[in-house]
Structure 1
Amino acid sequence: MPTLDRRGFLRLTGAAAGAAVLTACGPNMAGKPGSSGGGLKINSFGGTFQSAVQSTVADAYTTKTGVGVDLITAISSDALTKMRAANNAFDLAYLDLAPLYQAKAAGLLQKLDRAQLPSLSELYPLAVDSGGYWVAELASMTGIVYHTERVKTPPKSWKDLWDPKYRGKVAISNVSGTAGYHFLAMAARLNGGSETAIDRGFAAIASLKPNLAAIYSTPDEMSKLLTSGEADIGVWYADRTSALKSSGAPVAFVRPQEGATAILSAMCLPAASSRAKDAHAYLDFQISSAVNGKFVQAIAEGPTNSKVTLPQQFLSANYVPYGQQEISSLIQLDSEAISKNLSAWITRWQQEVAG
């Protein structure tokens, strides 16, 4: 089964220097006396994600506890491969939900100990796995992006993408990307289906073909489609829209009235972790209100701790889900079902959509 990783596209393009570094440690702390056995091994996605983790979480954690942190650059798909090869590859892991559920299905994860996570009670419900295997450290969303100079009336619904006025001007993601399988799931839901009854989603996307300008494979391709004029509107990520808008492009993000789909990056504990106590302490530090607030501002994402207060200047510049009302309006897709069915969806997509 393929492993899905939007963060690989999103973060590894953010800062080449960060992505090129295989490991990064807090300054002179990995072997500091008092550290319980050297650096805590944690994968990170490279780029701006890794820079934010290093500066707002890892270094501060080491300063506070004396426990060193070794950040090992590995996007979710690579981290899953490493975990399959050696389950002690990491003491704690950052993973997107589809690969995370693949890791769970393979027996590579252990449940978290809620008693060691006092900050858990402050998190929004969507950030805490009901099964006990993961806790999310950030939230973003998939919705509709449009070019404000070429689309004068902002779209309101996912269904607007089928409007004939957008003939030849809609861009969507390949189903192997997060925005792609999110949109397929929403197309199914809009027509009476679901993640486990996907036929109506494929039928709906087949009927969208007259409106399609392109099916993109990476977020960078979508940026070019919007700025070149090839596409006026499409399915994209809130944070990528924020970044493109900050570069001067006339674009805006819309949360469809049916709901934008939630994107969560989560932390989990490998089954063979020998540093469970330190891993829990680091995770709780990451999701505490003070640290979560600094982290999401450094990476321009939404917080998962309900106690975080974000400045208006940040909120005005970025499209982030924030506050109980916005967070609760996000649609939580069945990531476990997606992880089980995605391989078949990709094959079917090649036959029915891309072909």
Structure 2
Amino acid sequence: MATKKDMWGLSRRQFLHTVAAGAAVAGGATFRELAWAQDSGELVVSNWGGDWSNNVIKALEGPALEQKGVNIRRDLAAAPVRKAKLLAERNLPRGTIDVAHFTDADAYELQIQGALEPIDYSRVPNAAHLLPGMRSPYFVPWMYSGVELIYNPDKIKTPPTSFKDLMNPAYAGKVGLIDQIYFNYLYAYALVGGGSMQNVTPGLAKLLELKRAVQPRIYPSHEQIAAAMSSGEVWISANYKARAAQWTAANLPIRGAYPSEGGIAIQFGVVIPKHARNKELAYRYINEMLAPVAARQISTLTYYAPSTDHAGLPPDLLREIDFTEAQRKQLHYVDYAYAAKNQPQWLEWWNKEIKV
């Protein structure tokens, strides 16, 4: 006996897509809107967990996608775990992740190892509003910031001025570091030790010196160190300017201070893994991510500066999250090739020498 698909040449799902397409055309929808309407499958998003994922849900995934019928399944883990997964799947005929959140340096590492799809910007209309220098062939940035000093003003009355201040023996037992952003400490202490973004070797010795001097507490994530600083368990650390601004606005006893060595710049955004299952929805995700509403909302929630020029942030918020012209000139940018070549060894060293 013939099935319905045999008789009509269409499955029930395909038939419903066709009906939806016809309705869209009748209503004057664009061909891009039509394609998006036809794609009602599942979208798998790889991301960090914790408040980062929660904020992405609030700013983008909930209102712009899930509330409009997109079924999102989230794959949440630390960046090294998620990178390993994408690398393991790069030669499969079909991957399990459709869109993945990473830093600019992580994205470069994945790209040179053949794990990413090139970005077709013709499918991302809002990319026309990316700030100068932020269009990459494999990575779409959503927000940016830089690493600076953060401290508890109730415990440290004079604001710190250098990454060297974390090495002050007076702060023994009160210095906190975050395992999640370990690489930024290598860069920061490379600068302290006379190295550079292309030579972190001097930073390894300085981090060992810091460990001997203050025995830093290592926390897995931003949330944990914020709680530790609020309780007085930790007095000083280094973190993104955006985090300091976010916690200050939340009335936590945490303030930011720009280091004399200059901040460590970073961008956060998304990639499309090689052989992603649902590229149509992945591009819809990226376009919605760059839309003014989502860009404005994520900056309001996280205090990271938007990567686009049409987010329409209130001037007072922009002053809180952006750097001054002088500070921008001092920002240090990651050498992607150098980082990609050395990150596995850096992570091993960090785990053996600092994290233990």
- TM-score, normalised relative to structure 2: 0.73
Q: Does 1:96 align with 2:103?
A: yes
Report the AA paired with residue 342 of structure 1.
Q
Q: Which amino acid aligns with 1:168?
A: A
Matched position secondary structure for 2:259: coil
- Decide whether the 8 Å contact of 1:48 with 1:299 is kept in 2: no
- Judging by fraction of residues, say which structure has more helix: 2
The alignment status of 1:233 with 2:240, answered yes or no, reads no
Q: Identity over the aligned pairs, expressed in percent?
A: 20
**Structure exhibiting the larger radius of gyration computed from Cα positions:** 2
Q: Give secondary structure in 2 for the equivalent of 1:124.
A: coil
Structure 1 pair 63–344 and aligned structure 2 pair: CA distance change class (3 A) = closer
1:279 aligns with 2:286: no
How much does 1:120 deviate?
2.8
Alignment partner of 1:109: what SS? Answer: coil
**Most deviating of 328-337 and 181-190:** 328-337
1:192 to 191, 194, 200: 194
1:67 CA drift (Å): 7.2
Contact 1:31 / 1:38 at 8 angstroms: preserved in 2? no
The RMSD of aligned alpha carbons is 3.6
Structure 1 gap segments, 5+ residues each: 1-29
Could you report, residue by residue, the CA deviation over 1:273-331 in whole angstroms, capped at 9, with x for unpaired residues?
Answer: 35434433431231133431123223443211133232256458xx5336877666543
Q: How many residues align?
A: 318
- Match of residue 341 from structure 1: 342
1:212 alignment counterpart = 214
In structure 1, the partner of 2:9 is none
Instruction: Tell me the CA shift for residue 88 of structure 1.
Output: 2.4
Provide TM-score, normalisation by structure 1.
0.73
Partner Cα distance (1:123, 1:232) in 2: 37
Aligned to 2:142, which of 116, 128, 137?
Answer: 137
User: What displacement does 1:94 show?
Assistant: 1.9
Q: Could you tell me how far apart the structure 2 residues matched to 1:192 and 1:322 are?
A: 24
Cross-structure match for 1:254: 257
Distance (Å, rounded) in 2 between the aligned partners of 1:296 and 1:253: 17
Q: Indicate conservation of the 8 Å contact 2:171/2:235, yes or no.
A: no
Residue in 2 that maps onto 1:21: none
Q: Secondary structure at the match of 1:280?
A: helix
Contact kept, 8 Å, 1:58 with 1:69, in 2: the verdict is no
Q: Is the 8 A contact 1:139 1:321 kept in 2?
A: no
Say whether the 8 Å CA contact 1:141–1:321 is kept in structure 2. Answer: no
Aligned 8 A contact 2:243 2:302 in 1 = no
Q: What is the 5 A alignment of 1:1-355?
A: 33-34=20-21, 35-39=37-41, 41-43=43-45, 44-62=47-65, 68-75=70-77, 76-83=79-86, 84-85=88-89, 87-125=94-132, 127-129=134-136, 132-163=137-168, 166-168=170-172, 171-173=175-177, 176-178=179-181, 180-209=182-211, 211-218=213-220, 219-246=222-249, 248-311=251-314, 314=317, 320-321=321-322, 330-349=331-350, 352-353=353-354
Aligned-pair CA distance for 1:41 = 1.4
